[in-house]
Amino acid sequence: MSAKAGDPKIVVVIVDDHELFAQGLAMLLTREWGELFSVAGQTTYVEEAADLVARCHADVAIIDLSMPPLGGVAAIRHVKARHPRTGILALSGTDDLGLAEEALRAGADGFLPKTARPEALAGPLWTIAEGLRVVDGTLLDALLSNTRKPPSELLDSLSAQDLRLWTLLASGMETGDIAQRMLVSERTAKRMVAALLHKLGVTNRIAAAAMAGRFGVLDDLAEADRLS
């Protein structure tokens, strides 16, 4: 666990441009969980993060995401590039979902909002030091929900008729059946299908059905079609 032989404590470093917050966090870890964690150092500069990890032989680095000018995500990339076995817990004082996702993609092993209760900190640090990943439950739900939503620009380009047609395609209907359901000729139905595939950016019906499933819209669209 710890890089220091004979020391069972998890070695932690803190990278945060708010020095008072970093000092308070270090005091909290030392006071409440001093038998588990050793805060070996801290810095307010992104550029110093990787060197700090190396100098302190850190098991886990706590990195604030909102750090000018380069940002905490850059610090995460620097640390992971030089010390891939060091765990990283990203913290953020904003509710920017995109920033949290970017941090996880950059290599962060966990994420917690700065609004999390102090007692919620020890568990994630321990878990990350053990080689596992931790994400706040609310963030995880938001990320999963966000990844299942079609891009807004795609939805804006689709009419109600397009959405209904997408449902019928995804359910496996043949062109003749689609024409009957949409009250158009089979020739018109073929043109409508071709136009929808173009809007979706796919080349065939199978890809269109897979996209509907991936975005989680198939069930909602089918229910809307059933009620219409």
pLDDT digits (tens, 9 = 90+) for 57-72: 999 999 999 888 888 9
State how far the Cα of 170 lies from the Cα of 223, in Å rounded to an integer. 13
Domain ranges of the chain: 10-147, 152-227
User: Which tokens belong to 67?
Assistant: 């750090």
Q: Residue 220's pLDDT is what?
A: 55
Q: In the chain, which residues have pLDDT < 50?
A: 1-5, 221-222, 225-227
State how far the Cα of 53 lies from the Cα of 21, in Å rounded to an integer. 19
Q: Residue 91's pLDDT is what?
A: 93
Q: How far apart are the first and last CA of the chain?
A: 59
CATH code linked to domain 10-147? 3.40.50.2300
Q: Residue 14's pLDDT is what?
A: 97
The number of helices, as runs of H, and strands, as runs of E, in the chain is 12, 6
CATH code linked to domain 152-227? 1.10.10.10
Query: Which of 145, 28, 143 lies closest to 95 in space, CA to CA?
Result: 143
State how far the Cα of 228 lies from the Cα of 223, in Å rounded to an integer. 9
Q: Residue 150's pLDDT is what?
A: 65
Q: Residue 225's pLDDT is what?
A: 47
Per residue in 173-182, pLDDT tens?
889 999 999 9
Q: Tell me, what DSSP letter sits at residue 17?
A: S
Apex 162 CA angle, 215 and 175, nearest 5: 100
